Amino acid sequence: MSGLRGIWVGRVKVAGENKEHDVVVYSLSSCTPCKKTMMLLESMGVEYEYIHLDMVDPEERGEAMVELGEFLPGRGIQLAYPVIVIDDLITIIGFSERKLRKMFEEMP
């Protein structure tokens, strides 16, 4: 994987056969949609990294939130977890099996 911005102690890499894209999941440790997203990525063989924002120290969380803000579409959006960032270009907010499957089936 290349192109990932911040590399923090709290970021965890999950190996997968599909290494074509940089995928980062911003999540909360107790978030059911986050767990479903990560299980789906694993079932599709997608390599990804995740960070549980509620499990890192406040300084690291602040840095991750600033980075995360760069991928949100603008003011007035209600933040929901997970936030999935693909190749620093595509952002999916919340769990959407349909969007994730479509993304990885259509992307080269």
Q: Which two tokens stand for residue 70?
A: 């760069």
| Distance, C-alpha 80 to centroid of its chain | 12
Provide the residue-wise pLDDT of the chain in tens; the chain has 108 residues.
434 445 555 789 999 999 999 999 999 999 999 999 999 999 999 999 999 999 888 888 888 888 888 887 775 567 789 999 999 888 899 999 999 999 887 765
| Superfamily classification of domain 11-106 | Glutaredoxin (3.40.30.10)
Q: In the chain, where are the structural domains located?
A: 11-106
Give the pLDDT score at 37.
98
CA distance 23 to 71: 13
> What is each CA distance from 64 to 15, 56, 84, 103, 106, in whole angstroms?
21, 10, 13, 24, 29
Give the pLDDT score at 3.
41
